[in-house]
Amino acid sequence: MVDSPVIAGFECNFWLMKAKYYSTAELAEKTGTSRQVISAIINEKWKEKRISQATYERIKKEMDDLGFVPDRTATSLKKDKRKTVGLLCHGPLYSHVLTAIEKLNHHFLDQGIPVEMHMSAEGGLAEGLRDLMGQRVESLIVLLSPMTRNFCEVDLKNPSILKLLRVVPSIIYNFPFGIHEKSLEGELISGGAQLIGFSKQQAYTKFFKSLDADGKTRILVDDKICSLFEVGTPMSRICESFELVDTYPNPQSEKLDENPFLIGEKLAHQLLPRIRQQGYDFILTSSDRIAQGMAEVLNDAGLSIPEDVSILGFDKINSLPYFKHSLPTIEVPIQPMINELLATLKKKNWKGNSFKVEAKLISSF
């Protein structure tokens, strides 16, 4: 017998590729009631059935503690006996997450795997999981959007999440390693979730070290990027050695439906007087498209790119080689992350684990 590994002080349990759903009969037995009482509570008809408030609250708590979700397929006339994958897109679809969805789409079509797909907004991750589990999916993939506030912190810290993820073998894709407390990562792993992602701090720290070596010392940074680094981190210590580090508000807040190129152009117009006055060596943006939009406006304004000022993008989108401006970017390790996701789905045995891939700094195209 192989012992379960211990990661960051948390024991990791091995999981068979089998969801552990409770039936209403099992729930009734565990709570010392009947299926009729459970059914009345599930369908919110407990008052009509003269079930007491105390009984209702006790059973609801039991349901939450067990991660119990009603079987929404029970009344279906046609049931698909194949194992279904639940795909939950959490937050605005953007950037490399869209690429992941495209690759998953091809894989599921090629393999003939049925998929139940849902979308959830910020604050609704637990409810999205319940909806999918109500369809009795056999495994779950949660795709976290990079455009959520503080990288899904509120949702991931919801106590209900851990209880739900213990029921079904789950993969959390694009997990923001290093953003939240290490204890949260450990709890998710010990509950059986497979975490796949990369560290933005690590990528930006490497970039700032390269600037330090080149003598680049006057920098303007998107405040969402700057928020990744706390006092005392290697990143903050590097920044202390620079002549100037300024920030500007993230231009995509509440504007996710706008064209990123146009956002970059507007941002450049807004920041142009400041850029001329301060003479920044580098501007850090949160996307390649924003960087290209900024470069076009600054170039038209008489600033040579990258001689006068260079602009860092993010993602390494496929179309970068065809753009006018050769700019550095941080490449999100999409393919290794996708490869790990697909390899996990093929395993007969699952275990809680983490798979962190290193993002690469691309100097220019």
SS (H, E, C) 79-123: CCCCCCEEEEEECCCCCHHHHHHHHHHHHHHHHCCCEEEEEECCC
Q: Are 26 and 102 members of one domain?
A: no
For residue range 268-306, list pLDDT tens digits in order: 999 999 999 999 999 999 999 999 999 999 999 999 998
Strands 329-331 and 360-362: antiparallel
Q: Which domain holds residue 297?
A: 201-331
Burial class from Cβ neighbours inside 10 Å (0-12, 13-18, 19+) for residue 82 reads: exposed
Q: Are 93 and 153 members of one domain?
A: yes
Q: Are 107 and 149 members of one domain?
A: yes
For residue range 153-178, list pLDDT tens digits in order: 889 999 899 899 889 999 999 999 98
Burial class from Cβ neighbours inside 10 Å (0-12, 13-18, 19+) for residue 361 reads: middle
Give the CA radius of gyration of the chain. Answer: 24
Q: Are 213 and 327 members of one domain?
A: yes
Count of beta carbons in the 10 Å neighbourhood of residue 215? 8
* DSSP 8-state code for residue 21: P
H/E stretch holding 345:
helix 334-346
Sign of CA dihedral 329, 331, 332, 334: positive
Q: Are 60 and 93 members of one domain?
A: no
For residue range 189-205, list pLDDT tens digits in order: 988 899 999 998 888 88
Helix ranges (DSSP H) in 112-196: 125-134, 153-156, 159-165, 182-190
C-beta of residue 60 within 8 angstroms of C-beta of residue 159: no
Helix axes 53-66 and 24-31, enclosed angle (nearest 10): 120
Q: Are 163 and 215 members of one domain?
A: no
Q: Give the pLDDT confidence score for residue 239 in this predicted structure.
A: 80
Q: Are 168 and 224 members of one domain?
A: no
Q: Are 95 and 111 members of one domain?
A: yes
Q: Mean pLDDT of all residues in the chain?
A: 85
For residue 177, tell me if it sits in a domain: yes
Q: Give the pLDDT confidence score for residue 77 in this predicted structure.
A: 42
For residue 73, tell me if it sits in a domain: no
For residue 74, tell me if it sits in a domain: no
For residue 262, tell me if it sits in a domain: yes
* DSSP 8-state code for residue 233: S
Q: Give the pLDDT confidence score for residue 120 in this predicted structure.
A: 94
Q: Are 207 and 327 members of one domain?
A: yes
Q: Are 151 and 221 members of one domain?
A: no
C-beta of residue 245 within 8 angstroms of C-beta of residue 216: no
Q: Give the pLDDT confidence score for residue 231 in this predicted structure.
A: 67
H/E stretch holding 179:
none
For residue 135, tell me if it sits in a domain: yes
What domain count does the chain have? Answer: 3
Q: Are 209 and 235 members of one domain?
A: yes
Structure tokens at 261: 């190129």
Q: Give the pLDDT confidence score for residue 214 in this predicted structure.
A: 62
Q: Give the pLDDT confidence score for residue 95 in this predicted structure.
A: 76
Q: Tell me the CATH number at 319.
A: 3.40.50.2300
Q: Are 139 and 209 members of one domain?
A: no
For residue 101, tell me if it sits in a domain: yes
C-beta of residue 358 within 8 angstroms of C-beta of residue 197: no
For residue 78, tell me if it sits in a domain: no
Residues 6+ apart with CB under 8 A from 129: 88, 140, 142, 161, 164, 165
Task: Kindly give the parts of the chain with pLDDT less than 70.
Answer: 1-18, 73-82, 212-216, 231, 254, 364-365
For residue 72, tell me if it sits in a domain: no
Q: Give the pLDDT confidence score for residue 215 in this predicted structure.
A: 65
